Structure 1
């Protein structure tokens, strides 16, 4: 299984920024890479909120694997984040 070199918080924040900026989402930019690179930190608070929501797997997720492992992985991703999302 591939393992990302970016944190979960950063990856989610980048997706949120790209969704807003890219023509493939709700945006207007046909090539939004530079804008996403500049703006993804603005989405860190939202990314943390999404991860907090995902701490508890739903029934489908729990049936697919070990719910305790899932929760531990999401908690680790949150613990890896070294900021205060309320500062955003």
Structure 2
């Protein structure tokens, strides 16, 4: 199977989901269409997104049963390093 690479970083994608969840009426917000607000405000959610990503470094038992823990850890660590290196 061939996978497409995402156009945005995992931290940005998580931050956008957090912003959308807070702003959109499909989540906890009031906006019918939150796309423009998410585009403007997602950077405010990057610290929370990075914290979420850091918690994902350790796979669950079910994840371990179906995949390679070493690969998972390296992929999550790379995503964290990409974000923290770009902040330096």
TM over 0.5: yes
Q: TM-score, normalised by structure 2?
A: 0.91
Q: TM-score, normalised by structure 1?
A: 0.91
2:87 counterpart residue number: 83
Indicate the SS of the match to 1:3.
Answer: coil
Aligned pairs, how many?
Answer: 84
The unaligned stretches of length 5 or more in structure 1 are none
The unaligned stretches of length 5 or more in structure 2 are none
Deviation of 1:64 after TM superposition, in Å, equals 1.3
After TM superposition, what 4+ stretches of structure 1 lie above 2 angstroms from structure 2?
none
Deviation of 1:3 after TM superposition, in Å, equals 2.0
1:71 counterpart residue number: 73
Q: Distance in 1 between matches of 2:54 and 2:87?
A: 14
RMSD of the alignment, in Å? Answer: 1.1
Q: Distance in 2 between matches of 1:3 and 1:29?
A: 30
